[in-house]
Structure 1
Amino acid sequence: MSIQTTIEQKVSEAFSPEHMEVINESYMHRVAPGSETHFKLLVVSSQFEGQRLLARHRAVNQLLADELAGGVHALALHTLTPAEWQARGGVPQSPACRGGSSS
């Protein structure tokens, strides 16, 4: 099973999101084609109501601890309540990679 599929399943089961996007951004970095090392994760869940951003991110990081300890090098998190998602109106753009790793 791919890392992306694993992330999708774990997040779906844990947070019952109203909206979720798992975007593999590995192609934007200096990695082998087909790599699964850099992801953007957008989760819209009512379970985030009343939680500060840090608590939301900690919950996701704890859920995905095995993936982060393994092949996932970077995970950009966007954890929103349904009201926050509605106010934002979409997925934020990722900045361009500035290099950093030659491997």
Structure 2
Amino acid sequence: MSTHSKPVPGPMEKLIRKNITDACNPTVLNIENESYKHRHHAAMRDVDSTETHFKVTVVSEMFSVQNRIQRQRFIYSLLKAEMAMEGGIHALTLVTKTPEEHKNVPKALKPDTR
């Protein structure tokens, strides 16, 4: 049994979750705070926020009428304010899939959604 637990979502992660959930009605939404991997970067030197870098996986039926670029632009537009704020999102990695596309992703490559 693993002793690792997911960290409690911070305010930025909660905003990301709310914005994407409200707009996309996702069947899968996985948000990974990867900020700890980037604390040593020069651009982060004077930043106190611990919520600046995220990897977000969104699976939504609405993506069936959008190509990959349109999907990513849409998600970026949802998070525009969070990306513009002081100490806000500095980097965002997106995986955007339809339910059909997600079904075809090998289980080993799917994010842990526990």
- The TM-score range, normalised by the shorter chain, is 0.7 to 0.9
Structure 1 residue 29, shift from structure 2 partner: 1.2
TM-score if structure 2 supplies the norm length? 0.74
26-35 vs 13-22, which deviates more?
26-35
Task: Tell me which residue corresponds to 1:25.
Answer: 34
Task: Tell me which residue corresponds to 2:104.
Answer: 87
Task: Tell me which residue corresponds to 1:54.
Answer: 69
| Distance (Å, rounded) in 2 between the aligned partners of 1:66 and 1:50 | 25
Contact kept in structure 2, 1:57 and 1:79, CA below 8 Å: yes
The higher radius of gyration belongs to: 2
71-80 vs 1-10, which deviates more?
1-10
Secondary structure of 1:88 counterpart: coil
Structure 1 residues not aligned, in runs of 5+: 92-103
Structure 1 residue 34, shift from structure 2 partner: 6.5
State the one-letter code of the partner of 2:90.
H
State the one-letter code of the partner of 1:65.
K
| Distance (Å, rounded) in 2 between the aligned partners of 1:9 and 1:37 | 17
Cα 1:88/1:33, change in 2 over 3 Å: farther
Give the superposed CA RMSD: 1.7
- How many pairs does the alignment contain? 91
| Percent identity (aligned) | 37
Task: Tell me which residue corresponds to 1:64.
Answer: 79
State the one-letter code of the partner of 2:99.
P
Structure 1 residue 80, shift from structure 2 partner: 0.4
Aligned with 1:73 (options 62, 68, 90): 90
